[in-house]
Structures are given as structure tokens and as C-alpha cells.
A = this chain, B = another copy of it.
Amino acid sequence: MLEDRKKKVLQAIVEEYINTAEPVSSSSLTNNYDLNYSSATIRNEMADLEKAGYIEKTHTSSGRIPSEKGYRYYVDELLKDDNISVEEIKYISEKLETKVNEIEELTKITTTTISEITHYTTLAIGPSTENLLIEEIKFVLLGPRMLMAIILTNTGMVKETIIKFEEDISEKQVETINYMFNQKLRGQPLDIIDGPLEEYLINEMKYSVKVIKPIIQQIKKVISEDRQLYLEGANKSFELPEFNSLSVAKNFVNIIDEKELMTDILNSGFAKDINVYIGDENEKKELKDFSIITFKHKVGNKDLGTIGIIGPKRMDYSKVISVMKYINKKLKDKGI
């Protein structure tokens, strides 16, 4: 456990470094941050904090920067999570009050809003389809050889897909299909279609394999599809001094370009509402120089997907977390 003054010094170093991106010297803290001591005193505290692993030097005679342990301590113990202005609250409220008919729209709006307020690159994926139950499937004939399947889930999610056939199908056939699919699939988990049911359906309804097979295939495809990925404000990261390093910039572009990686990141570990991964804490080694903050956003108990912010380890954790908390709260009330 750190003494009070050490905490203050650490907090000052972290916040100063987040603001300036320059190693923090002892003299820059005197008479700031409520620290009315000489630089020598601060220096002594810094030496202790360094020994304890909370801060580091970039070279023998440099100022200090927070270590990952330092950031972690700051996030867990020192950070204020109400770092959000009246204007920001107003802006967010307005954005989130937009009327939307589809979940995806809300995800997009939220992602953009977060990126605008925090000035960090923001990513999002749509809600997981795992554990969803099929409430109903509707089939609509769009043409003699074109059918649309619309799947409604228990959470109100709607997925639709177009199926094309080699031969004409009749309204009559569609009715039968409608009946049989709903008979079998209602209340079942979404991915049941990709199991033994497939064979069953094909056998049961063999009167027209040519019709059934494309339907099953297409439904399988649409439910196993990658979830939609959103990315906002990639260029915002490039304004940060960290991105003057070519290797950092390149690394970053590689990360955000790798959709699988991003999906993995957004899907991993959700111990809490808001999850912070600092540098090496990230599961993916590509992210060792970055920090990620993720949260699942929900309306009521409807999962809307996961939003993540990626930035340098020198990220404004306080601002980001404050914004996320506010959005979480705001979404809880919203109807959809």
C-alpha cells in the first residue's frame, strides 16, 4: 500500500504524462497537483516509486513515465470516473436519443459518438448470436426463383437473407416450407440448423430437396456470418505523438486492418462492465504497446454488442471510462 504522498506523486506523474506525452521531471510537479514540496523531495519519492516498479526512466537522467504497473494502479485506485463535462453529457444525450429501428444503427451512432468525444479510435461489433433462440422464421417469395427468409430471435434481432433457386417455386410450396421450418425451429437455438436438424429436414421433406437445400445452406451462412465490425476515427490516433514513430503507426494499421484480430479482441474476457487492458495485459501480443478499453452495451437486457477503444498506453483512462459509464447509464433507460 502506498502512502498518501506517494499516491499523489504517482497520480501527478500519470496525469501529467497523459497530458504532455513527455517524461515528467521532479521540478515540473513542485507547486502543481497539490504538491508543495521542493523538487528534491519529489525526487526522493520518485526514486521510491521507481524501486517499487510504478514508474520508469527512459534513460539515466530523464524524467519518469508510468510503468504498466503504474497505469494499472492509477486505473484501479486513483482514477476519477466523473471526468465528463456538461457539454459532453448534452452532446451524448442528444446523439443517443436518435430514434432507431435497428440495433445496428444504434451501435453505429454510439461508436461514432464515443470516438468524437474521446478522440480515440473506436471499434465495435454487433451482438453475439450465441444463445439466441429462434422465435419465428418468415418466408417471402420475392420472385419465381427468389425467396427471402426472415429470422426473428427472442431478443428482437432480425436477420434476413435472400435465397435463389434453379427452378420456379410456388406460393403453395412456400407455405409448406413456412409451416415445416417453424414447426421444427421455433424456440430452438439459432445454430441448431447447422446440426442434426439439417439432415432431418432434408429427409423429412425430401419431396423437394432442390428447394430445401439452398434454404438451409443460406440460413446456415447468414447465421454463421462474421458479425459486422465498425471502426471510427482511425485517423484520430494519428494525431497522437506516439504515432510519430513509424513502427507504432504501422503496427496500428495492421491491427485495425485485421478484422479477425479485432473481433477476437472485442470478444475476450468480460469480468466487469468496463474492462481495461494495459499493454502486455492484452491477450494479443500485437497489442503490447496499446491499451484497450471495452464494454458491452445493452439496452435493458438486450445485448447490443461490444464497443472498444484503442489507444496508446498513455491513454486518458479517466475520460474514456467516464464516457463509457455515462453511456451505459443512458442506454439502460432507452427503449428500442
Contact = CB atoms under 8 A, between A and B. Distances in A.
A233 interface: yes
B254 A235 contact: yes
Nearest to A148: B150
Interface in A147-171: 148, 150, 152, 158, 160-164
A138 interface: yes
A12 interface: no
Chain A interface, >50% SS class? mixed
Interface stretch (A19-27, A55-63, A244-252): A244-252
Contacts of A244: 246
Interface string A114-139: 00000000000000000000000010
A147 B158 CA distance: 11
Contacts of A158: 142, 148, 162
B140 A140 contact: yes
Nearest to A257: B235
Given A234-B253, A249-B249, A257-B235, A150 B161 contact: no
A143 interface: yes
Nearest to A138: B140
Contacts of A161: 101
Which 8 pairs show the lowest CB-CB distances between chains A and B?
A235-B257, A101-B162, A235-B253, A235-B254, A234-B257, A238-B250, A238-B253, A101-B164
14 contacts: A101-B162, A101-B163, A102-B162, A140-B140, A142-B152, A142-B158, A148-B160, A158-B162, A234-B256, A235-B258, A238-B249, A238-B253, A243-B250, A246-B249
